[in-house]
Chain A
Amino acid sequence: MKWIRWQGLITFVVLLLFVIVAWFLFVDVAVKKIIESKGTKLVKAKVELADADLSIFPLGLFLTGLEVANPDAPMTNAFQVDRVALSLEGAKLLRRKVIFKEMTLEGVKLNTPRKTSGAISEKRSRIPVVSKESSEEKMKWPSFKIPDVKEILQKEKLQSLELIASFRGDLQTEKEKWQSRLAQLPDKNKLGEYQKKINRLKSGKQRGLEGILGGAREVLTLQKELSRDLDLIKTAQKELGQNMTSLRKRMAEVKKAPQEDLRRLKEKYSPSPEGLANASRLFFGKKVGNWTETFLNWYKKLGPILERVKERKHGREVVKPTRGKGVDVRFKEQEAYPDFLIQIAHVAIEIPAGLVKGQVRNITPDQDILGAPLMYEVAGVNLTGIASLKIDGSLNHVDPFSAKDTANILIRGYDVSDMDLSSDAELPIVLKRATADLEARVTIAGETLKANSLIVLKSVNMGTPNEEDTNSLMKALFSVISDIKAFDLKSEISGTIQDYDLKLSSNLDNVLKDAVKKQVKAQAVQFEKRLLLVIQEKVGGSMADLETTIGGLGSIGSELMARSHFGDELFKRSRKSGSGAMKLPL
C-alpha cells in the first residue's frame, strides 16, 4: 500500500469539518455582504443591512434593519424594512434554485431620514428622462398688474424708431445725390443763354445766301444742344419721380410702424385672462410631473428584477450567472423553475396615515420559465384621513417581447390640507382643505407609457395667505377661488418612458378665466392708450423730420419741372425762329 496514506482520509474529514464550521460561522456575514453589494449595485445607492441570519432548521433567511438609500436624495432612505423573513425550499436549493416560498416584510417605512449619506462614489449613469418639469417651470402665472409703459420702452426697442433712422439716412443720401445732380444739370443761366441766342437769331438780318445758310446752321446747332440738355433734365425728372414713388411707399411703411410696435408690445405685456386657461397645469403640473418622474425612475430600477438578460448562443439559451464567470447554458428541465423566485411576499408599509398591507406574488427575473406574471395588491388598513386606498396591478414579462405592466390606483376620501397650489409671489394660492377621490390607471407596454387619472376634489376651501395685499383684479380672482367648492382634474400621460407628454385639464380653468375676463379687458384698454401715447411721443418728432426731407426732394422736382418747361418753351421758340431763318427771300 505504498500509494495510500490512510491518515490523509482523517485529514480530509477534519478539513471538511473545519470548512463546514467556518461556513456556519461566517455564512451570515457573507450573506449580509452579498445583499449589500448586490443591492447597492442595483439601486446605485447604499443598501445596508443590520444583520442577516441564515437558519438551517427550518431553512430560511432573516434580515433585520434593511435600509435602501434614495439615489436621488442620498440623505433619505427610499425605504427601510425592520424585519424580513424568508422561508427557503431546501430541495430546490440543491438544484441551485433559490426559491422562497414566503417572504414577510415587517415595518416598511418610506422616505425616512438617514444619518449618513447613501450616495456611492461610482458615477451614476442616469437615463435621461425628458422631463415635463422644465416646461412647468417655464410656465408662469399671468401678471394682472398694469405694466409700467416707460419701463417697457426702456428695455424694448421700438422698431419704428429703427425704421425711421434707417429711412432718414437713405433720404439724406438721396437728397445730397439729387442736389449734386441738379447742380450738374443745365440751369436757368444756361437756358437763359439759349434764350439770348434765339432772340439774337430772331432779330438778326442775314445778308445773302451765305448769311441765310449760316443762320440756319446756327439754329440747327442750338436746337441740337437745347434738345440734349432738355433730355438730361427730363431723364433726371423721370428718375426723381420714380425715386419719389419708392420713397413715399417707404414713408407709408414707416408711418405704419408705430402701430405695429403697439400691437407687438400689447401682445407681450398687456394683461390677459388667457394664462388662466391653463390654471390646472400651473396648479398641478409640476406636482404631477414630479410624481411621474419618481415613479418612472423606480420602475426602471425594477428592470433587472423583472427580466434577466438572456442570450442565445449556438441555438441554446445562456444566462450570465449571478456570481462567477462564463455563462450558464440552460437545458430543458423535467420540472422547470426559475433560478430565483419569491412565491409570495407579504408587505406591511407604514405611511403617515397608517398601515398599508398587501401581497406581491411571483417575484422572479425568469417569468418566462415560471409562466406567470408578477402580481401585486395593497390596501390601506384603518387609515387616518383616507377612507380607502387600493393599488393593484401586474408586471407581465412572461413573453419578454410583449411585456405589459399595469397599475390601478383607487383612493377614496383623501383629506387634503394646506397644499401650496401656487408659490408665485404675485398669486399665492393654497388649497386649505378638500376631500379627494382618485382613480388612475398606468400601462407600460414595452417602452410605451400610457396613464390616465381623474381626481375629484370636493368640500374645497381655497384661498391666499395674504388677501389684503392685492389689487382689485386679484381680489376678484380670489373671490372666485374662495367660492369654488368642487372641481376635477384629469391627467393624461402618453409617449415613452424616456419622453412622455403630460396633459392636464380641469373645469377650474374656465371658471378662473371667466372670473377675471372683464377686469383684465378694462386694464388692457388703459394700457393700450398709455402705450400709444408714449410711442407717439417718441416717434412723432422724427416722423415730421422725414416729411420735411421728402418735401425737400419735392422742391428739387419742382425745380426740374420749371427747367423742363422753360426748355420746352425755348425749343418751341427756336423752331419758330428756325423756320423764319430758313425762309428764303425768293
Chain B
Amino acid sequence: MLRAIVSLLKTLNSETEPGQISLALCFSMIVGFTPVFSLHNLLVFLLVLVLRVNLSTFILGLILFSGVAYLLDPIFHLIGLAVLTSSGLEGLWTAFYNMTLLRLAKFNNSIVMGSFLFSLVLFAPLYFIANKIIMQYREYVLAWVQKTRIMQAFKATKLYNVFATYSQLRGGV
C-alpha cells in the first residue's frame, strides 16, 4: 500500500502524461463502483492493461472507489431500479434480457445497472477534472513544495540520498 502511494506520488511528480493518470482513475472508478465480478469489468481490465494507463493509480483508485461504493450502494440501487423499471425503456431492456451475453452481464440487477450508469456518467467529467488538477498540482503545488524549507532540509539528508539512489536503481524518475 505504502509502495503504491509512493509510486503514485512519483508518478504525479514525474513527466507521465496527466491523461494516463486520469484515465486510470476513471477505469478504477468503474471497477470500484460496480460489483467486481461483473462481465463489463473484464473489458475494463483488458483496457487498463492494453492502454498505457498508470497501474499504481488504478490500484489505489480501485481501493478508494470500492470503499466509497459501500456507502453509495443505496443510491446505485435507486438509480438502477428507476432506470430498469422505466416504461419508456422497457422494450430495450426486454431485448437485452433475451440476449445471453447481457444476461451474463447481469444488467437487470439494480446495483449493477445503477453503479455502472453512475460511473459512466462521471467518467468524462472525472477525466477532465483529474487532468486539470494534476496539471495544476505540477505547476503550483510541486514547485511550491520543492521550494519549502522543509523539503530543502529533507533533500539535504542522507535518507533522501538513499531514497533517490534506490529510485534511480529501480528505474524511477
Tell me whether A329 is interfacial, beta carbon within 8 Å.
yes
In the complex, the answer to whether B85 meets A9 with C-beta atoms within 8 Å is: no
Note all chain A residues with C-beta closer than 8 A to B73: 325-326
Choose the segment among A168-176, A313-321, A450-458 that binds chain B (4+ C-beta atoms closer than 8 Å).
A313-321
Q: Which of A8, A94, A326 contacts B104 (CB 8 A)?
A: A94
**Majority DSSP secondary structure for residues of A touching B:** loop
Note all chain B residues with C-beta closer than 8 A to A332: 94, 97
Tell me whether A124 is interfacial, beta carbon within 8 Å.
no
In the complex, the answer to whether B103 meets A95 with C-beta atoms within 8 Å is: yes
Tell me whether B111 is interfacial, beta carbon within 8 Å.
yes
Note all chain B residues with C-beta closer than 8 A to A12: 45-46, 49-50
Tell me whether B148 is interfacial, beta carbon within 8 Å.
no
With contact pairs A4-B52, A8-B49 given, residues A321 and B90 touching in the complex (Cβ less than 8 Å): no
In the complex, the answer to whether A94 meets B82 with C-beta atoms within 8 Å is: no
Tell me whether A207 is interfacial, beta carbon within 8 Å.
no
With contact pairs A4-B50, A4-B52, A12-B50 given, residues A316 and B85 touching in the complex (Cβ less than 8 Å): yes
Note all chain A residues with C-beta closer than 8 A to B98: 331, 333-334
In the complex, the answer to whether A2 meets B50 with C-beta atoms within 8 Å is: no
Tell me whether A123 is interfacial, beta carbon within 8 Å.
no
Tell me whether A6 is interfacial, beta carbon within 8 Å.
yes
In the complex, the answer to whether A326 meets B111 with C-beta atoms within 8 Å is: yes
With contact pairs A15-B45, A94-B103, A333-B98 given, residues A314 and B108 touching in the complex (Cβ less than 8 Å): no
Chain B residue total in the interface (Cβ 8 A): 36
Per-residue CB proximity of B60-80 to A under 8 Å, as 1/0?
000000000000010011001
In the complex, the answer to whether B51 meets A330 with C-beta atoms within 8 Å is: no
Q: CB within 8 Å of A: which of B97-149? A: 97-98, 100, 103-104, 106, 108-112, 114
In the complex, the answer to whether B100 meets A95 with C-beta atoms within 8 Å is: yes
In the complex, the answer to whether B77 meets A325 with C-beta atoms within 8 Å is: yes
Chain B nearest CB, measured from A99 CB (Å):
14
Per-residue CB proximity of A1-41 to B under 8 Å, as 1/0?
01111101101100110000000000000000000000000
The CB with the most chain B CB atoms within 10 A, among A6, A94, A95, A331, is that of: A331
Tell me whether A120 is interfacial, beta carbon within 8 Å.
no
Q: Which of B45, B52, B80 contacts A3 (CB 8 A)?
A: B52
CA–CA, A585 and B42, complex, Å:
154
In the complex, the answer to whether A326 meets B93 with C-beta atoms within 8 Å is: no
Tell me whether A483 is interfacial, beta carbon within 8 Å.
no
Chain A nearest CB, measured from B82 CB (Å):
7
Closest to B17 in A: A2
CA–CA, A334 and B97, complex, Å:
9
In the complex, the answer to whether A314 meets B52 with C-beta atoms within 8 Å is: no
Q: Chain B: residues with CB nearer than 8 A to chain A?
A: 17, 20, 35, 42, 45-46, 48-52, 73, 76-77, 80-82, 84-87, 90, 93-94, 97-98, 100, 103-104, 106, 108-112, 114
Note all chain A residues with C-beta closer than 8 A to B46: 9, 12
Tell me whether A324 is interfacial, beta carbon within 8 Å.
yes
CA–CA, A174 and B35, complex, Å:
95
Q: Chain A: residues with CB nearer than 8 A to chain B?
A: 2-6, 8-9, 11-12, 15-16, 94-96, 313-316, 318, 321, 324-334
In the complex, the answer to whether A8 meets B51 with C-beta atoms within 8 Å is: yes
CA–CA, A525 and B90, complex, Å:
87
Q: 10 closest pairs, A vs B, by CB?
A: A326-B111, A8-B49, A314-B85, A326-B110, A331-B97, A329-B84, A8-B50, A331-B94, A316-B85, A12-B49
CA–CA, A331 and B81, complex, Å:
13
Note all chain A residues with C-beta closer than 8 A to B84: 316, 329
Note all chain B residues with C-beta closer than 8 A to A334: 98
Chain A nearest CB, measured from B47 CB (Å):
9
CA–CA, A324 and B108, complex, Å:
13
Can you sample 12 A-B contacts with CB below 8 Å?
A3-B20, A9-B49, A9-B50, A12-B49, A95-B103, A314-B86, A321-B109, A324-B35, A324-B109, A325-B77, A326-B110, A331-B98
Closest to A6 in B: B50
In the complex, the answer to whether A11 meets B49 with C-beta atoms within 8 Å is: yes
In the complex, the answer to whether A5 meets B52 with C-beta atoms within 8 Å is: yes
CA–CA, A94 and B39, complex, Å:
12
CA–CA, A329 and B79, complex, Å:
13
CA–CA, A326 and B84, complex, Å:
12
If A12-B46, A313-B85, A331-B93 are given as contacts, then 6 extra A-B residue pairs at C-beta distance below 8 Å, sorted by A number, are: A95-B100, A318-B81, A324-B109, A325-B73, A326-B81, A326-B111
Closest to B73 in A: A325
In the complex, the answer to whether B51 meets A314 with C-beta atoms within 8 Å is: no
Chain A nearest CB, measured from B21 CB (Å):
13
CA–CA, A96 and B104, complex, Å:
7
In the complex, the answer to whether A329 meets B85 with C-beta atoms within 8 Å is: yes
CA–CA, A16 and B45, complex, Å:
10
CA–CA, A328 and B108, complex, Å:
6
Q: Which of B17, B48, B108, B109 contacts A331 (CB 8 A)?
A: B108
Closest to A332 in B: B94
In the complex, the answer to whether A324 meets B111 with C-beta atoms within 8 Å is: yes
In the complex, the answer to whether B50 meets A326 with C-beta atoms within 8 Å is: no
With contact pairs A3-B51, A12-B49, A315-B87 given, residues A329 and B100 touching in the complex (Cβ less than 8 Å): no
Note all chain A residues with C-beta closer than 8 A to B87: 315
CA–CA, A315 and B52, complex, Å:
46
Note all chain B residues with C-beta closer than 8 A to A316: 84-85
Closest to A11 in B: B49
CA–CA, A367 and B84, complex, Å:
24
Note all chain A residues with C-beta closer than 8 A to B112: 326
Note all chain B residues with C-beta closer than 8 A to A331: 90, 93-94, 97-98, 108
Chain B nearest CB, measured from A207 CB (Å):
129
In the complex, the answer to whether B85 meets A333 with C-beta atoms within 8 Å is: no
Closest to A7 in B: B49
CA–CA, A325 and B81, complex, Å:
12
CA–CA, A314 and B52, complex, Å:
43
In the complex, the answer to whether A326 meets B80 with C-beta atoms within 8 Å is: yes
Note all chain B residues with C-beta closer than 8 A to A9: 46, 49-50
CA–CA, A315 and B103, complex, Å:
21
Closest to A95 in B: B103
CA–CA, A332 and B93, complex, Å:
9
Q: Which of B17, B45, B50, B80 contacts A5 (CB 8 A)?
A: B50
CA–CA, A312 and B49, complex, Å:
42
The CB with the most chain B CB atoms within 10 A, among A3, A330, A334, is that of: A3
In the complex, the answer to whether A330 meets B108 with C-beta atoms within 8 Å is: yes
